[in-house]
Amino acid sequence: MNILQECQGASRIAITGHVRPDGDCVGSCLALYQYLQKKMPQARVQVYLERPGEIYQCIKGCDKIDSQCEDTDPYDVFFVLDSVPERMMEPAKKLYDMARKTINIDHHISNEGACDISWVVPDASSTAELIYELIDKEALDADLAMAIYIGIIHDTGVFQYSNTSPRTMEIGANLIRYGFDFPKLILETFYQRTYLQSQVLGRVLLESIRFMDGTCIVSCLDRKIMDFYEVEHGDLDGIVNHLRNIKGIHCAIFMYQTGVLEYKVSLRSDEWVDVSRVAAFFGGGGHMRAAGCNMKGTFHDCVNNLSLHIKEQMESRLSALEGEKTGQE
């Protein structure tokens, strides 16, 4: 796909991502925004996203994000990044429906491509990596490089998860040549937590419960506790990774309450479980090792339903391994 060719003649271009935008979502939307502004100065380019967390305010263009979507004029091109169209914020949907051309750029294996043009590459570490591949490299400057870099580090856990490829590292190397302060960026957007965020993390770990012979773990935050610590969803990013990092765990579940008997569920795993399949069953999606969904019911109902699917996958892997062993004997 050639972004500029697809936007040729467009005077109004919109960009959006998914609800509760994470680093890759904000980074890739603002990278594309900066790029189009540079290459198509005559066009109006607008990013529609829920307000990104404070840590992302350092990205150029973050202050131009519109979270209200009160515009009623149709857009010539409407980009949906890092998401399927159904997962964009509600107020942007009417603008999406009116758009003359819709383009989807994503790396979620669960995305089946619903736009006029869909560029879905499940092997890519992040949507930001895809944006890097699609742009003319001469347009890169420190601001654009930084926006892409943020997207990549957040989806790869700073080049740590299995979605990091040699190409991801090459791109990272090219980006830091533009001279932005990457150690500060990594510290301040990825590792640093406020005191309250750290206390919540501690509480989640303390209250976690292991099950299935200690191979799975779950922890849940209800609204009362979130209010007590004055945390919102953006403060909880990364918590699930601490559960997954516990020795012996193949699958970690972190849930927080979003309404009465409603939870946002984050799933992380190793090679034992494909959590994108588990999440997809409950109407969510994601990647093999990191996925999410929204569920209704009591905490126990949700965990019971999730664990049925996790158990099924673990058992079939176990019997496949045993079959291999017997075959070798």
Compute the least distance from the CB of residue 249 to ligand AMP, in Å.
16
Q: Can residue 106 be called a binding residue for Mn ion (CB under 5 A)? A: no
User: Judged by CB under 6 A, which of 49, 182, 284, 302 binds ligand AMP?
Assistant: 284
Residue with tokens 């994108």: 276
Number of other residues whose CB lies within 10 A of the CB of residue 93: 14
Span of 38-46, 69-77, 214-222, 283-291 interacting with ligand AMP by CB under 6 A: 283-291
Report the residue number whose CB is nearest to Mn ion.
24
* Nearest-angstrom CA–CA distance, 262 and 295: 6
The alpha carbon dihedral of 169, 172, 176, 182 has a sign of negative
Q: Can residue 129 be called a binding residue for Mn ion (CB under 5 A)? A: no
Sequence-distant (≥ 6) Cβ neighbours of residue 228 within 8 angstroms: none
Long-range residue pairs from 192-196, CB within 8 A, at least 24 positions apart, any chain: 192/55, 194/235, 196/229, 196/230, 196/231, 196/235
Helix ranges (DSSP H) in the chain: 3-6, 23-39, 93-98, 127-134, 142-156, 166-176, 182-186, 195-206, 223-228, 239-244, 275-281, 299-328
Q: Can residue 244 be called a binding residue for ligand AMP (CB under 6 A)? A: no
User: Judged by CB under 6 A, which of 87, 250, 289, 309 binds ligand AMP?
Assistant: 87
Closer of 12 and 107 to ligand AMP (Cβ): 107
Helix ranges (DSSP H) in 187-284: 195-206, 223-228, 239-244, 275-281
Q: Can residue 266 be called a binding residue for ligand AMP (CB under 6 A)? A: yes
Nearest of 141, 148, 133, 164 to residue 25 by alpha carbon: 148
Picked from Mn ion, ligand AMP, none, the partner binding residue 285 (CB below 5 to 8 A depending on kind) is ligand AMP
Q: Can residue 82 be called a binding residue for Mn ion (CB under 5 A)? A: yes
User: Judged by CB under 6 A, which of 17, 21, 52, 286 binds ligand AMP?
Assistant: 286
Number of residues that bind ligand AMP (CB under 6 A): 14
| Contact (Cβ atoms closer than 8 angstroms) between residue 294 and residue 250 | no
Closer of 24 and 274 to Mn ion (Cβ): 24
User: Judged by CB under 5 A, which of 50, 71, 129, 155 binds Mn ion?
Assistant: 155
Compute the least distance from the CB of residue 60 to Mn ion, in Å.
20
The alpha carbon dihedral of 260, 264, 270, 275 has a sign of positive
| Contact (Cβ atoms closer than 8 angstroms) between residue 104 and residue 113 | yes
Binding pattern for the stretch 21-40 against Mn ion, x by CB under 5 A and - elsewhere: ---x----------------
Q: Can residue 292 be called a binding residue for ligand AMP (CB under 6 A)? A: yes
Closer of 180 and 256 to ligand AMP (Cβ): 256
Q: Can residue 23 be called a binding residue for ligand AMP (CB under 6 A)? A: no
Closer of 115 and 290 to ligand AMP (Cβ): 290
Q: Can residue 99 be called a binding residue for ligand AMP (CB under 6 A)? A: no
Picked from Mn ion, ligand AMP, none, the partner binding residue 28 (CB below 5 to 8 A depending on kind) is none
Residues in touch with Mn ion (CB under 5 A)? 24, 82, 126-127, 155
